[in-house]
């Protein structure tokens, strides 16, 4: 699935199952929450935080949650994630030079 397909899937999911009245702030808040969950799972996986069943936590799912919410926020803002990343790539190329 590419970024465009991801955004289309998230848009369809939210319109059929999710919360259609969420604001940009709701998505931003959820994004922060999901980032925190990545931190918590990393902490458990690396033994900094004890848990009876660390195998119950899946870092791939948590990172996927971030992609989902990032896509939802981009959709809400009317942004194309491919274009967003192209801007980041351009910034990196400018600061560090292009990859050969």
CB 38, min distance to Mg ion, A = 7
- Is 34 a binding residue for Mg ion by CB under 5 A? The answer is yes
CA–CA–CA angle 3, 33, 11 (5° rounding)? 35
- Is 40 a binding residue for Mg ion by CB under 5 A? The answer is no
- Is 65 a binding residue for Mg ion by CB under 5 A? The answer is yes
CA–CA–CA angle 44, 64, 31 (5° rounding)? 85
Nearest one of 63, 19, 20 to 40, comparing CA atoms: 63
60 three-state secondary structure = helix
Task: Select 15 or 64, whichever has its Cβ closest to Mg ion.
Answer: 64
CB 75, min distance to Mg ion, A = 19
Task: Select 3 or 63, whichever has its Cβ closest to Mg ion.
Answer: 63
């Amino acid at each position: 699935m590419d970024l465009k397909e991801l955004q289309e899937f998230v848009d369809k999911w939210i319109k059929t199952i999710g919360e259609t009245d969420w604001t940009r702030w709701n998505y931003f808040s959820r994004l922060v929450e999901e980032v925190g969950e990545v931190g918590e799972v990393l902490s458990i996986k690396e033994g900094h935080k004890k848990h009876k069943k660390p195998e119950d936590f899946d870092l791939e799912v948590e990172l996927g949650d971030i992609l989902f919410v990032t896509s939802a926020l981009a959709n809400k803002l009317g942004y194309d994630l491919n274009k967003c990343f192209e801007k980041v790539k351009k910034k990196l190329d400018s600061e560090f030079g292009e990859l050969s």
